[in-house]
Structure 1
Amino acid sequence: MGDFKHLVLVKFKDGVLVEKLMEGMQNLVAEMDTVKSFEWGRNVLSEDTITQGFTHVFLLTFRSPNDLVTYTNHPSHLEYAEKFTAAIDKVLLFDFPPILVKPSA
């Protein structure tokens, strides 16, 4: 089996310092061997009607679904998830095995 993705779309509450929150996330994924890669970004091009208010995206890559389960059940993740959840207005999650159509160059 190939990689397994964990995609998170969020809209943060007003006044949340996203960069500060991301420092904690970067520390978390750095200590977790099950996380193969982590990327995040802020929506800059789409209109609110298309994005349904979601402003940020987070993409974690794991080697397997089991690695994702290990990550989500880890005490450090559970502790961070409390802070993250308290900072968001809404969230949308997808966990999926990607279908590669065009590999990176």
Structure 2
Amino acid sequence: MHTKAVSVATFKLWSLIVTAAMMSACLPQSALSDDAAPQLLRHVVLFQYKEGTTPEQIEEVTKAFAGLKGKISEIVDFECGTDVSVEGKAGGFTHGYVVTFKSEKDRDTYLPHPAHKEFVKLVGPRLQNVLVFDYWVKK
């Protein structure tokens, strides 16, 4: 009995710690003070490809997207992957890409950049749907 009570208390304590950590990590930029840790801007892009888009075409898009890091100096990092969630809530989006910037200004330079515009020309005709979501994180 005593062991079970300790386990429940330990679980509750860890739940509180995890909840507090998650809440502090997800603060809006306006909630962070000037002396807060340096921040990064994550630019999340989800793609739902049109039916009939081949694996080779998707690979071409992924390589071109990754290649933007070498063409646009404002990009700090690039990550990508396919949906592996077991929840079945991806809404048809199969591929995710995360582009990281140091500032909104850097993101705003990236968007109209000729290399990005060229990439959009490549990917656009292959997409059924796209979702873009930007958020701030502490380094």
Same fold by TM-score, threshold 0.5 exceeded?
Answer: yes
- Structure with more of its chain in helix, by fraction: 2
- Bin for the TM-score computed over the shorter chain: 0.7 to 0.9
Q: What letter corresponds to residue 42 of structure 2 in structure 1?
A: K
- TM-score, normalising length from structure 2? 0.65
The alpha carbon displacement at 1:26 in A equals 2.1
Give identity over the alignment, percent: 30
Quick one: which amino acid aligns to residue 70 of structure 1?
Answer: T
* Separation (CA, whole Å) in 2 of partners of 1:2 and 1:30: 22
Cα distance in 1 between the residues matched to 2:61 and 2:114 = 18
Unaligned 5+ runs, structure 1: none
Aligned to 2:75: 35
Letter of the 1:43 counterpart:
D
Q: Which has the higher contact order (CA 8 A, sep 6+)?
A: 1
Question: What is the aligned residue count?
Answer: 99
Match of 1:15, SS? coil
- What TM-score results when the alignment is normalised by the length of structure 1? 0.84
Q: Answer with 1 or 2: which has the greater Rg.
A: 2
Aligned partner of 1:69 in structure 2 is 108
Q: Is the counterpart of residue 14 in structure 1 residue 75 in structure 2? A: no
SS at match of 1:33: coil
The DSSP-based 3-state class of the residue aligned with 1:82 is helix
CA RMSD of aligned residues (A): 1.7
